[in-house]
Chain A
């Protein structure tokens, strides 16, 4: 009986789900209601999605929401944020409560296929890293044989750790805790030699240690965590806008266009850049995308290029001071690469 009931309930839920995804047209919905509803990190992840003391949302993910709003409305401020936890982010997107999810979400095949979302742009290449006290004089993760490693239980972090040490034939003692705060406390108390979690997280954890300068983050990244915006599947028009909003920011950095100099660059003779800024005659890039021709100009003018956003939120201009690394432009040894805008 109860099984039948459960099946019925789940069936109804799925029915509602498919009915919604089939209706599609997020772009029209967003335009009709006049603002973008963006799902961001609800537990305030420094640098990615966090409220500041005046209640303003800032972060790399938040900038992406603002860029999409700038493309659609020509006004980056037309965003409403829905703070979400790791658990309720997917139902929120499925149910249509939010229009896009920019909540440091890893792009995996399962989420892309089985969960019914679409991923393409990657606004931060993350990966699992290691932090060790400087006094251990460790330069690489390969020197960590025999180390006690603090890790949070039940996460992919724990599995990646086991895989990495096994693959490299290294011994280690896992010191496992259920909660992040417990892991922090154990590492600070010296119960383990190494702290492992996503590298972006290590930088903010290091800031909360008593002596940040006494700890180093090792260069190795042992897992792939491409973080990017997700939208509901089968809505390619909306999917394109969200993806290209990110690519426009990257392209802006490639062109060297910033918030400060974008108006000056309007006078350029470079046809590529003219197309990008919507200055070429008879161009229809924006129209084809479903937005204004000045979409990229608006993004750069109001939000900034990718480099500016990175620097302001997580890079040298922020307390986190994360190096560009994998997130540098492709021409500078990183992975950020915008397909041609033409």
Chain B
């Protein structure tokens, strides 16, 4: 039999050195950046661009930046009426500092600032333990965060009871509005989205049709149109005198929007669950709700965490659309501040937008990191 083989090795091979030579920094550099002449040229050019860019950014943001001042003259060059040299180009943090309270809470009465601050503390205090998997009593915690906190916050922020002066929503603004809109949107959209997704897969024709109609109708219209309709046209239709608060109108608009998108994300998860799971649950004699809550949904939602978080992040950023109906969310108030003649300089808009962008990024990046953590934490069998 052996003569039929074309080749037969009779000695062991000498062990070769590990691939790639060494694992030192130099070795890594040589392997990845300077493997050939062409690679080296590209690497050096890219590095120079990055370094040049970083130097400029750091220079603008920190080194040349103005940190203190009381009006535009602090950030103006000689030609603009100030004292800085004409070649100066830096961020005007003094302006962000002066507008900081506005950026955070809008024109909320300054003597009542403790109210939004208290709400913020309560929010962090109830959210943090819910986010840490090891902390017990998740059910109670969720009720506190999703039901008790919104009610307490509404009472605290609006006032008008318990001797708190009434603060209209037209005084609300800045990051506070962005966070309230997106938190309520998120809190409302998830349960409604789940119901809509289940409804859409239901075998009952009327429920199914209602859910499909709602989802398709809401998804088929841009959010900006709904907000515009709610703010401009709705008052014309209603009998004069009936004035639904603009904030509430926006809140409802944002929430139903998020719910429709969420429904489709969750439906994706439901469809990914093999039929055997449904049949298995049925054969155990579980009722519909038992089947869904104990078998299907825990698996389905886990599958679509990236999609859910994607929708959350999208919604968080979409809330800035409310500025077109003249509600001052974070971006809206930053833009509005450009019109403040006290701080009008060429660098003011840039500084303001960098600040707003940084805040938005902080929240979105936080959400995305947490979802990655959650995926790893929940991933109990799908890891490859």
Contacts and interface: CB of A to CB of B under 8 A. Distances in A.
A82 interface: yes
B346 A208 contact: yes
B357 to A, nearest CB: 16
A318 interface: yes
A245 B20 CA distance: 84
B199 interface: no
Interface string B304-342: 000000000000000000001110100000011111111
A87 B235 CA distance: 14
Given A44-B340, A46-B344, A319-B72, A51 B335 contact: no
Contact of A91 (B168, B235, B239, B337): B235
Contact of A53 (B81, B98, B231, B335): B98
A91 B232 contact: yes
Interface string B208-251: 00000000000000000000000111011111110100000000
Contacts of A94: 236
Contacts of A87: 232
B346 A319 contact: no
A92 B80 CA distance: 38
Contacts of A208: 344-346, 348-349
A129 to B, nearest CB: 18
Contact of A84 (B80, B102, B237, B326): B326
A51 to B, nearest CB: 6
A87 B324 CA distance: 10
Q: Which of B337, B344, B349 has the most CB of A within 10 A?
A: B344
Contact of B339 (A13, A20, A46, A210): A46
Given A13-B237, A83-B326, A94-B236, A52 B344 contact: no
A209 B237 CA distance: 44
Given A51-B107, A204-B344, A88 B339 contact: no
A11 B298 CA distance: 51
Contacts of A110: none
Given A207-B345, A210-B346, A211-B80, A51 B241 contact: no
A213 interface: yes
A45 interface: yes
A216 B326 CA distance: 33
A209 B243 CA distance: 42
A83 B169 CA distance: 13
B102 A319 contact: no
Given A51-B107, A88-B325, A91-B235, A23 B341 contact: no
B235 A95 contact: yes
Q: What secondary structure prevails in chain B residues at the interface with A? A: helix
Given A16-B239, A95-B240, A97-B235, A51 B344 contact: no
A226 interface: no
B237 A96 contact: no
Interface string A198-231: 0000001001111111100000000000000000
Which interface class (under 10, 10 to 19, 20 to 34, 35 or more) fits B? Answer: 35 or more
A80 interface: yes
A13 B231 CA distance: 15
B79 interface: yes
B236 A16 contact: yes
Given A46-B339, A97-B235, A208-B346, A23 B240 contact: yes
B235 A92 contact: yes
Interface string A8-30: 00001100110110010000000
Interface in B48-105: 72, 77, 79-81, 86, 98-99, 101-102
B236 A50 contact: no
A283 interface: no
Contacts of A23: 240
Q: Which of B231, B337, B338, B341 has the most CB of A within 10 A?
A: B341
Nearest to B348: A208
B108 interface: yes
Nearest to B99: A53
A55 interface: yes
A271 B29 CA distance: 92
A210 B80 contact: yes
A88 B348 CA distance: 27
A43 B240 contact: no
B237 A212 contact: no
Given A96-B240, A212-B79, 12 more contacts: A13-B233, A16-B239, A16-B240, A55-B107, A55-B171, A83-B336, A84-B326, A88-B325, A92-B235, A212-B80, A213-B79, A319-B341
17 contacts: A16-B239, A23-B240, A43-B335, A44-B338, A45-B339, A51-B337, A53-B99, A53-B342, A55-B108, A80-B170, A83-B326, A88-B232, A96-B241, A207-B344, A212-B79, A213-B79, A320-B341
The 10 closest A-B pairs by CB, nearest first: A44-B339, A55-B107, A46-B341, A95-B235, A42-B326, A211-B79, A20-B240, A44-B336, A319-B341, A53-B98
